[in-house]
Amino acid sequence: MAEDFELDTGDLQRRMDGAIASLKTEFASLRTGRASASMLEPVMVDAYGQMTPINQVGTVNVPEPRMVTVNVWDKGLVGKVEKAIRESGLGINPQMNGTIIMLPIPELNEERRRELTKVASQYAENARVAVRNVRRDGMDQIKKAKGDGMSEDDQKFWETEVQEMTDQFIATVDAALETKQAEIMQV
């Protein structure tokens, strides 16, 4: 029965890719002193009776390196968008100009940069844990197949495959963290 065991490495790879994609999304929301439209992605606005992503109530632009603008489509939502940005914890003070909300990105001080590198490290650790959880699931499948009569050679082969995949993804997480930390600490 276990002779024809084939571990679905494609599934494991897809799940580990998901952890990396999630990490990149979290990294994009971290402020680095440069304006980026993606920094507003986690901001949700109470619009039309439900929480809505900010990019669905207005156009987010980056007209210059230290400025993000949100052109709100519905005049009635301008105040709610401004409130959502103010309460988002981004540390940005919105300025109103009709239906356009301007967000000047202040220079980051050394202390704030260090805090952001710690947050980035936490995001990376969460991604590593997610990758290791996928590894554990793969190893559990291999152990189950071993119990169903898989040979020890096959068991070793599949365990090595899963471990190599895990090591590769952990290295990707570490490289992404290193890049993001360098970006944050850059003055």
CATH of the domain at 86: 3.30.1360.40
**Which of 104, 130, 165 is where one domain is finished?**
104
CATH number of 117's domain = 1.10.132.20
Q: What integer is the mean pLDDT of 157-166?
A: 94
Residue pLDDT, tens place only, 68-115? 899 999 888 889 999 888 887 677 788 888 889 998 887 778 887 888
89 lies in which domain range?
Answer: 34-104
**Residues 137, 167: one domain?**
yes
- State how many domains the chain has: 2
Q: Is residue 68 classed exposed, middle or buried when 0-12, 13-18 and 19+ CB atoms within 10 A define those classes?
A: buried
Q: Which amino acid is at 117?
A: T
- Has residue 143 been placed in a domain? yes
The pLDDT of 109-123, averaged and rounded, is 86
Q: In what helix (H) or strand (E) does residue 152 lie, and over which residues does it extend?
A: helix 152-185
Kindly state whether residue 2 falls inside one of the protein's structural domains: no
The answer to whether residue 69 sits within a structural domain is yes
Q: What is the C-alpha to C-alpha distance for residues 109 and 97, in angstroms, rounded to an integer? A: 28
Structure confidence at residue 187 (pLDDT): 63
Q: For position 27, what pLDDT does the model report?
A: 83
pLDDT higher than 70, residue 2: no
Residue 1 lies in a domain: no
pLDDT band at 1; cut points 50, 70, 90: very low
Which helix (H) or strand (E) is 96 found in, with range? strand 95-97
The alpha-helical segments, DSSP class H, found in 29-109 are 78-86
Mark whether 97 and 75 lie in a shared domain. yes
CB neighbours of 38 closer than 8 A, spacing ≥ 6?
A: 28, 29
Q: Both 91 and 135 in a single domain?
A: no
CA distance 121 to 153: 38
- pLDDT at 168 (0 to 100): 95
The answer to whether residues 180 and 166 belong to one domain is yes
The one-letter amino acid code at 177 reads L
Residue 129's region, left for phi above 0, alpha for psi from -120 to 50, else beta, is alpha
Same domain, 12 and 68: no
Residues 86, 73 within the same domain: yes
User: Can you tell me the distance from the alpha carbon of 89 to that of 79, in angstroms, rounded to the nearest whole number?
Assistant: 17
Domain stops at, among 104, 122, 149: 104
Encoded tokens for 2:
């276990």
Residues 128, 179 within the same domain:
yes
Q: How far apart are CA 76 and CA 162, in angstroms?
A: 53
Instruction: Report yes or no on 55 lying in a domain.
Output: yes
Segment 8-24 shows an average pLDDT of 91
3-state DSSP assignment of residue 11: helix
Please report whether residue 3 resides in a domain: no
Residue 42 reports pLDDT greater than 70: yes
**The pLDDT of residue 3 is above 60:** no
Q: Report yes or no on 118 lying in a domain.
A: yes
Same-domain pairing of 124 and 177: yes
Answer yes or no: is pLDDT of 37 > 50.
yes
**Four-point Cα dihedral 167, 170, 176, 179, nearest 10:** -70
Residues 89 and 118 both lie in one domain: no
113 and 22 assigned to the same domain: yes
**3-class DSSP state for residue 75?**
helix
The residue among 53, 85, 104 that closes a domain is 104
